[in-house]
Amino acid sequence: MILLGIETSCDETGAAIASFDPKKQTVSLLSNTVASSMPLHAATGGIIPETAAREQIKYILPVINEAIQKAYKTSLIEENLPVDAIAVTIGPGLIGSLLVGVETARTLAYLWQKPLIAVNHLYGHIYANWIYRKETIQFPALALVVSGGHTDFVLMRSHNDIKVIGATRDDAAGEAFDKIGRLLDLPYPAGPHIAKLAEKGDPKKFSLPRPMIGSHDFDVSFSGLKTAALNLTKRKDIADVILRRSRRISSAKRSFGMSHTVRPFAGVYTDRSRSAQDDKIINDLCASVEQAIVDVLVKKTINAAKKYDVKSLLLGGGVAANEHLRKELEVKSSELKVNLFAPEKRLCTDNAAMIAAAGFFTKKRSSWQEISADPELYY
């Protein structure tokens, strides 16, 4: 079986051609193309929904065409493409962005006379684990979906028995990374930058809270961590470090003719000793923030794995690409003798391959008249 997957829930525009082996229950990719408007959003420090949707209108047909060309060496206008169905994200997400993908999928389904598969974006992150998977994922399985908008613990007893057992009560882990990164004047999205700086920092340097780490449920909350980080950045010594570092980086970028989004340069900064000290403080802050988030996620995941006696742990979502989180979970899951599965890092962020993968396990097929975008969709 071969599917065309389409993903436009946020700022990425993705299309993929994927095939499914029912005997092995694995997904293979013939192509996977993604166009992102992230550079535009980086300049404003966050995603502007209207900008994202307008860019997706420009990208959607070229991206689908490229995916088809890579898979079949032909074009979008070919009438006899060997595609059995079209899987498309219908939610959750930004309504303008979702409409771009959904309406394009409906049009192609009408023209090609192919069935449509409505896919929940969150299931896509979970089913990214079935792409190129050689080992068998055994049930019951526990999935940790962790991204900018979601931090969810999902129990899977089978492909038809999926239940959310815990979720974020306020800020998701990815949002906490991004908001704290903004306080530190790091580029957007801040998660990868925090992870990179954290490699050189001391995670014990700053005492930060682990909200709800001791609660007996599987809900999480990161607003308290964000507030604690905000209070740290308001301390005069930390605030001065952030300002000096931002000015220094701004100056360096100007020297090389690079664009920047940090505060305007207000003087030459050449004290290398102080520069190293400032970098160390920022690195320690990043390491402390990352460790606080990872501690909560790992503790909750392992507690849930024990309670439900799962045989597999699954990671999904953009934050699932965080190397420190992967390593911590690998150690703990090994102690439990539970197999840990995580997608390739390129498949953790939003992409159409994961939507196609979820489509293979979704039984319902619809006509082009029957599906619509649903930004409030949940599990």
Q: How sure is the predictor about 41, in pLDDT bands with cuts at 50, 70 and 90?
A: confident
pLDDT of residue 45: 79
Same domain, 192 and 326: yes
Same domain, 209 and 268: yes
Percent of the chain whose predicted confidence (pLDDT) is above 70:
94
Q: Is the pLDDT of residue 107 over 90?
A: yes
Same domain, 152 and 288: yes
Q: Is the bond into 115 cis (omega within 30 degrees of 0)?
A: no
Same domain, 181 and 248: yes
Q: Is the pLDDT of residue 143 over 60?
A: yes
Strands 116-120 and 85-91: parallel
pLDDT of residue 261: 45
User: Domain span at residue 42?
Assistant: 2-132+347-360
Same domain, 322 and 353: no
The β-bridge partners of 118 are 88
Residue in the structure block whose two tokens are 């613990």: 153
Candidates 199, 192, 167; CA nearest to 178 is: 192
Q: Is the pLDDT of residue 40 over 90?
A: no
Same domain, 315 and 353: no
Q: CA-to-CA distance for 222 and 205, rounded, in angstroms?
A: 19
Region 249-275 average pLDDT: 56
Q: How sure is the predictor about 93, in pLDDT bands with cuts at 50, 70 and 90?
A: very high
**Both tokens of residue 177?**
């990374």
Region 83-105 average pLDDT: 98
Same domain, 13 and 117: yes
Same domain, 87 and 187: no
Instruction: Count up the domains in the chain and report the number.
Output: 2
**Both tokens of residue 130?**
């079935």
CATH (domain of 249): 3.30.420.40
Candidates 74, 198, 146, 140; CA nearest to 318 is: 146
Q: Is the pLDDT of residue 268 over 70?
A: no
pLDDT tens by residue, 192-247: 999 999 999 999 999 999 999 999 999 999 999 999 999 999 999 999 999 999 89
**Both tokens of residue 14?**
């993705």
Q: How sure is the predictor about 264, in pLDDT bands with cuts at 50, 70 and 90?
A: very low
Same domain, 62 and 150: no
Q: Residue 284 half-sphere exposure, CB side, CA atoms within 13 Å?
A: 17
Candidates 220, 208, 212; CA nearest to 164 is: 220
228 or 265: which leads in pLDDT: 228
Q: CA-to-CA distance for 249 and 170, rounded, in angstroms?
A: 33
- Looking at the domain assignment, is residue 367 inside a domain? no
- Looking at the domain assignment, is residue 225 inside a domain? yes
Same domain, 48 and 152: no
- Looking at the domain assignment, is residue 366 inside a domain? no
**Both tokens of residue 296?**
């909560």
Q: CA-to-CA distance for 128 and 109, rounded, in angstroms?
A: 24
Q: Is the pLDDT of residue 262 over 70?
A: no
pLDDT of residue 253: 65
- Looking at the domain assignment, is residue 247 inside a domain? yes
Same domain, 235 and 338: yes
Three-class DSSP category at 83: coil
Same domain, 283 and 199: yes
- Looking at the domain assignment, is residue 372 inside a domain? no
- Looking at the domain assignment, is residue 52 inside a domain? yes
- Looking at the domain assignment, is residue 368 inside a domain? no
- Looking at the domain assignment, is residue 374 inside a domain? no
Q: How sure is the predictor about 255, in pLDDT bands with cuts at 50, 70 and 90?
A: low
Q: For all residues of the chain together, what is the average pLDDT?
A: 92
